[in-house]
Amino acid sequence: MDNTHIKNKKLLMTRTGAEREKQQSAEKAGKPITKRVRITITLTLFWFMLCGTGSVTPAEEWKQAVTPWQWVFPRDHGQHPEYRTEWWYFTGNLSDSQKRRYGYQLTFFRQAIASSPLRPHNPWSVRDVYLAHFALTDVSGKHFRHYDRSSRTGPGLAGADKDSMNVWTLNWSARMKKNGIHLEARQGDATLKLELRPRKPIVFHGEKGRSRKGPQEGQSSYYYSLTDLETTGTIKTPWSREEIRVEGTSWFDHEFGSNQLTRDQVGWDWFGLHLSDGRDLMVYFLRKSDGSIEAASSGTIIEKDGTTQHLNAADIRMDVLDRWTSPRSGAKYPSTWQLRIPAARIDITLAPLVTDQELTTTASTGITYWEGAVAGHGTSEERDVAVEGYMELTGYAGSLGGVF
């Protein structure tokens, strides 16, 4: 490694640290991150990816999700490096002994850069970049705080095993244990240590786990979930003086693919919901640039016993009842919904538990989106039900077309 290469790495580390400090100071002061800072961090990450790697591999050279996947566990909880993009996604609705309510998100992304790095045995060589998002919601206090980070894999900074779930980005991690999954994250005054144990079997979305995102060949991902995870552990929020013992229910998604969104698909609305009658519900709508909904949008009903029912876009009716405009990004998000699935006799209304749960991820993906705890009520099979879960809204602060 020559002196210029070493100087570039040191300069990168200095710039990355300075920009993150600038971001954190702005967040604490309640100020929006400026476009200049956002661009600087994006360029820094680009420089970071180029140091020690070969050329970026074009999307079409990665393996495509074109046939049903032959699932084998625990292997498929791990990474799938032949595909370009992959994520492990956890959210949960929690409460403490005083019935105060909380929500959390912990997500890990693997973004492949080069299938054949120039120096594959060099620990600084880059094949994949790992990015992560961590957020806590204090529902009772109406507080929300989020964090994000990114890292190359070597030497040991981030990564994911191939034979089971063990994914980490610095000191944030999700690890499969004998009886469940252990989550851990720490950032400043915020910590999360949770144990997740499945109460329902694995759910495969779409065609045996192949979830279509559009009409083109390969425009799909492989997608499964653990929708009902009994959750116990501790959290510490920036607004609490000590760790809080919590319990509740979590949701886990694992998805991987190489060519999911076309340029005319601007974003998606996703819901992972728990109904008080024991049903779980996943719904996603892909929005197109002309305002229409992609016909491949779909959902899954998970019954109390774990059996599933696939939903096509035509089976689902979604109506926006209210909207909220972010004071930082200016994005106008749907904030209250009526969701109806006539064939399953589901009719529910949903709203955020805290209005502002917008993430601005300048230190990682560079995407601004809304992701947060929601709750509601309605009917399921003509019986009154309460609903809680998480909602994700992307593409309202800028199109994601062609990004994933």
Q: How far apart are CA 387 and CA 146, in angstroms?
A: 24
82: left (phi over 0), alpha (psi -120 to 50) or beta: alpha
Residue at 12 is within a domain: yes
Task: Provide the domain count of the chain.
Answer: 2
Instruction: Using the predicted structure, report yes or no on whether residue 121 has a pLDDT greater than 90.
Output: no
Confidence of residue 262 (pLDDT cuts 50, 70, 90): confident
Instruction: Using the predicted structure, report yes or no on whether residue 402 has a pLDDT greater than 70.
Output: no
| Residues 359-387: tens digit of each pLDDT | 999 989 889 999 999 999 999 999 999 99
The pLDDT value recorded for residue 40 is 34
Q: How far apart are CA 274 and CA 93, in angstroms?
A: 10
Asked if 68 and 41 sit in the same domain, the reply is no
Strands 368-380 and 244-257: unpaired
Q: Which helix (H) or strand (E) holds 19?
A: helix 3-28
Residue at 86 is within a domain: yes
Q: How far apart are CA 104 and CA 244, in angstroms?
A: 13
Q: How far apart are CA 365 and CA 397, in angstroms?
A: 13
- CATH classification at residue 217: 2.40.370.10
Asked if 119 and 203 sit in the same domain, the reply is yes
Instruction: Using the predicted structure, report yes or no on whether residue 270 has a pLDDT greater than 70.
Output: yes
Q: What are phi and psi of 229, to 5 degrees?
A: -110, 115
The pLDDT value recorded for residue 126 is 79
Residue at 344 is within a domain: yes
DSSP 310-349: EEEGGG-EEEEEEEEE-TTT--EEEEEEEEEEGGGTEEEE
Asked if 58 and 34 sit in the same domain, the reply is no
Q: Under a CB-based contact definition with an 8 Å cutoff, are residues 214 and 296 in contact?
A: yes
Domain that holds residue 36: 1-51
Asked if 47 and 128 sit in the same domain, the reply is no
Instruction: Using the predicted structure, report yes or no on whether residue 7 has a pLDDT greater than 80.
Output: no
Full-model pTM: 0.86
Confidence of residue 27 (pLDDT cuts 50, 70, 90): very low
Residue of 220, 183, 227, 229 lying closest to 204 (CA atoms): 227
Q: Which of 31-40, 185-194, 383-392 is predicted with the least confidence, judged by mean pLDDT? A: 31-40
Instruction: Using the predicted structure, report yes or no on whether residue 235 has a pLDDT greater than 90.
Output: yes
Q: Under a CB-based contact definition with an 8 Å cutoff, are residues 345 and 333 in contact?
A: no
Residue at 386 is within a domain: yes
Residue of 254, 232, 234 lying closest to 245 (CA atoms): 234
Confidence of residue 47 (pLDDT cuts 50, 70, 90): very low
Instruction: Using the predicted structure, report yes or no on whether residue 100 has a pLDDT greater than 80.
Output: yes
| Residues 190-234: tens digit of each pLDDT | 999 999 999 999 999 999 999 999 888 888 999 999 999 999 999
Q: How far apart are CA 357 and CA 43, in angstroms?
A: 26
Asked if 69 and 39 sit in the same domain, the reply is no
Asked if 22 and 113 sit in the same domain, the reply is no
Asked if 123 and 260 sit in the same domain, the reply is yes
Instruction: Using the predicted structure, report yes or no on whether residue 43 has a pLDDT greater than 60.
Output: no
Asked if 151 and 3 sit in the same domain, the reply is no
Residue at 404 is within a domain: no
Asked if 25 and 62 sit in the same domain, the reply is no
